[in-house]
Structure formats: C-alpha cells, structure tokens
Amino acid sequence: MNVQVFEDLQRIQREREADRLRMEELGVTEETIALLVSTFYDRIRQSPSLGPIFNGAISDWPKHLATMNTFWSSLILRSNTYTGKPIQAHMKLDGLTKEHYHHWLILFDLTLREVFPEPAAREPFMTRARAIAERLESVTVPAHE
C-alpha cells in the first residue's frame, strides 16, 4: 500500500470516528437505535395500512429488527455492519402506493421524536429516510399513481 492510500484510509477512519462520537454525544448509540427500531416496527405492525404489508412479508421479526439495527447504525454511526439490498427487498412487494411511503415517514418521524428529544439527533435519520423513501417509491410505485 503506498503512503497516499494509507493516509487517505487513516483520514476516512478519523472522519468516521468523529461522526460516530458526534452522534453519541447527541444520545445516538447502538442501544438507542435498537430502541428506535423496535418501537417503530411495533407501531408499523399495528398500523391498519402498513401492518398487513409488513406482516405478510416478514415471518422472522427478530431477524428483520436486527437487519434494521445494522442498517441505521451503518448510516448514522458509520458502523459498516449492513450488507443487504434494500431496493431488491422492496421490489418484491406488491401494491405499494405513495400514501404508504408517506405514512411510513410520518410514523418514523413520530417515533424519532419519542426516542430522541434533541432535534440534531433526529435530523440525519429523517434526511436519510426521506431520500431513501423517495428512491424506493420511484422504483416500486407505478408513475401514474
């Protein structure tokens, strides 16, 4: 490995660590992410519009929650633990509408407000969630809807 590559890797590592520390100071840790995820999906499962879609597609809930913990910790704490394929996972689902995505985002925002009192802690979650929801909607909901 040449010196330049080594220095770049060290810099990326330092930036990743700084991001993680900044979020931890705002109360975002592996533990509070797990609380966010479990509270959110409890709410999702009870939702009349989203519950049937999730309950119909997911048989192993502990596994789904574990996947979602790695997903959010990779995005927010830069843990690099998520290895799935979100686009493909949603392409398998039938009958999604833009209202489903809208509702998903409302429930997510509501749960974030419960778990993280600090607005700065919620902001990176919501920014990512909105962007990903938009992307998923564009590939799963027919254009005329």
Interface positions with ligand HEM (CB under 6 A):
50, 53-54, 57-58, 64, 67, 71, 84-86, 89-90, 92-93, 96, 100-101, 104, 129, 132-133, 136
Encoded tokens for 116: 């993280």
The nearer residue to ligand HEM, 34 or 133, going by C-beta atoms, is 133
How many other C-beta atoms can be found within 10 angstroms of the C-beta atom of residue 31? 10
In three-state secondary structure terms, 128 is helix
Q: How far is the CB of 24 from ligand HEM (least distance, A)?
A: 21
In three-state secondary structure terms, 62 is helix
Q: How far is the CB of 28 from ligand HEM (least distance, A)?
A: 16
Q: How far is the CB of 25 from ligand HEM (least distance, A)?
A: 24
C-alpha angle 35-37-60 in degrees, rounded to nearest 5: 120
